[in-house]
């Protein structure tokens, strides 16, 4: 009897050990994978600093009688890796572009000219354009400056206006003027089918106008701005079609 009890106890102990110890090693967990790559987002807009909007008589470092080096500055834009500075001569419409990773850039420009400037923030995801400011780079100080060339708004360049079969249509024109002296006196509208040399409105203070035009033609237009002392500026020439 005792021998039977001993055998049963040994069997029970063997079974308990097998259940708790198992027949093999615990599985080894997989090593952690590489971390997720950082998420790249489009950069924020740039906040412009200097030269100030609609400022005049800016004195850069003179390089010759006709050019000067002018410093541009702006605030850091979130997520931007670099910046593209665009400076546009508002008389010639020529745009000069510069790329930098800094928050300042010095550009050599022709004096006695109106300009606009903007900065685009750039990274591998894309580009974000910011505001556009204007300034007048004067070689010497004067008591009065010519107006900035008017900004043509509508019809936008390259627009196709559908006449819907009519022989003629009314076209609305709109533009925006600005002047560091705030003394714009009038606007003149030039409009024709070639080079915008025909004056159709000699003088008005409004920045809109309406003209009845013939269908099936291409038109070109510009605005001449005059201030109270007689200074004038010509806008760029814009074109559109009536079909």
pLDDT at 18: 46
Mean pLDDT of the region 4-18? 51
pLDDT at 56: 80
pLDDT band, very low/low/confident/very high, at 40 (cuts 50, 70, 90): confident
- Report cis status (omega within 30 of 0) of the bond before 44: no
pLDDT at 235: 96
pLDDT at 30: 67
Closest to 118 (Cα-Cα) out of 46, 37, 22, 184: 46
Q: What percent of the chain has pLDDT over 90?
A: 71
Q: How far apart are CA 62 and CA 45, in angstroms?
A: 31
Q: How far apart are CA 95 and CA 105, in angstroms?
A: 16
> What φ, ψ does residue 114 adopt, rounded to 5°?
-85, 140
pLDDT band, very low/low/confident/very high, at 14 (cuts 50, 70, 90): low
Give the best-scoring range by mean pLDDT among 9-23, 125-139, 187-201: 187-201
pLDDT tens-digit series, residues 45-71: 999 999 999 988 666 666 667 888 899
pLDDT at 19: 46
Could you give the angle at the alpha carbon of 139 between the alpha carbons of 150 and 101, nearest 5°?
75
Please name the residues in contact with 133: beta carbons below 8 A apart, sequence gap of 6 or more. 48, 51, 52, 53, 54, 116, 117, 118
Q: Give 173 or 31, the one with higher predicted confidence.
A: 173
Domains annotated for the chain, with CATH where assigned, are 48-137 (2.60.40.10), 148-242 (2.60.40.10)
pLDDT tens-digit series, residues 210-237: 999 999 999 999 999 999 999 999 999 9
pLDDT tens-digit series, residues 148-202: 999 999 999 999 999 999 999 999 999 999 999 899 999 999 999 999 999 999 9
pLDDT tens-digit series, residues 90-111: 999 999 999 999 999 999 999 8
Q: Is the pLDDT of residue 9 over 60?
A: no
Closest to 240 (Cα-Cα) out of 153, 149, 165, 151: 153
pLDDT at 16: 47
């Amino acid at each position: 009897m005792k021998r039977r009890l001993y055998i049963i106890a040994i069997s029970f102990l063997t079974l308990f050990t097998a259940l708790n110890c198992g027949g093999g090693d615990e599985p080894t967990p997989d090593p952690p994978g590489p971390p997720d790559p950082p998420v790249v987002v489009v950069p924020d807009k740039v906040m412009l600093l200097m030269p100030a909007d609609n400022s005049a008589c800016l004195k850069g470092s003179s390089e010759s009688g006709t050019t000067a080096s002018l410093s541009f500055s702006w605030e850091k834009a979130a997520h931007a890796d670099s910046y593209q500075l665009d400076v546009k001569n508002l008389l010639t419409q020529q745009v000069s572009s510069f790329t930098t990773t800094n928050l300042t850039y010095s550009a050599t420009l022709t004096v006695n000219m109106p300009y606009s400037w903007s900065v685009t923030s750039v990274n591998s995801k894309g580009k974000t354009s910011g505001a556009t400011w204007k300034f007048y780079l004067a070689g010497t100080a004067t008591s009065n400056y010519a107006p900035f060339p008017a900004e043509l708004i509508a019809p936008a360049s390259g627009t196709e206006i559908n006449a819907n079969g009519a022989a003629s249509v009314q076209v609305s024109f709109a533009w925006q003027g600005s002047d560091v002296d705030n003394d714009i006196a009038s606007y003149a509208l030039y409009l024709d089918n070639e080079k915008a040399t025909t004056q159709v409105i000699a003088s008005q203070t409004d920045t809109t106008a309406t003209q009845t035009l013939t269908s099936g033609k291409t038109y070109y237009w510009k605005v001449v701005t005059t201030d109270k002392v007689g200074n004038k500026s010509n806008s760029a020439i814009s074109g559109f079609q009536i079909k």
